Amino acid sequence: MSAMTALAPVGGVGATRVRVHAPFDLRHSADLRQEFIRAIREGNDLLVDISESTVVDQVGFATLVGAHARAARAGRRLRFTGADERTTRLLRRAGLARLLAETPAPAVALRGRRTPFAV
């Protein structure tokens, strides 16, 4: 999977919503990192649907957390939605549950409702 297809826009109001199609792992981390940098530079907050992805290893977890840190440094909010149980558990254990959006599903966001970010 190329970096250009790793993050696919899924629409949104007030934030850029993207869906990750690649696993968060060593093999895809560089591509994902570059895609996150590009998306953050566009200037919007990000809501990232990771329901079609999974955190596979420590490098993948670092990529996920690093994307959030990069967004924060740029004055952007970045939240994740659709996390599987394992990823949710990893974020909670690391004290990073705030990275998870308080949204039920990306399909709701596609209906044009503004999705609030967790603080």
CATH of the domain at 34: 3.30.750.24
* Pairwise CA distance, residues 119 & 112, whole Å: 21
Q: Is residue 1 part of a domain?
A: no
Q: Report yes or no on whether pTM surpasses 0.75.
A: no
Q: 56-103: per-residue pLDDT in tens?
A: 888 988 998 899 999 999 999 988 889 999 889 988 998 888 888 864
Rg of the chain over all Cα atoms, to the nearest angstrom = 13
Q: Is residue 64 part of a domain?
A: yes
State the total domains in the chain. 1
Q: Is residue 105 part of a domain?
A: no
Q: Is residue 81 part of a domain?
A: yes
Range(s) of the domain holding residue 40: 7-99
Beta bridge partners, 47, equal: 17, 79
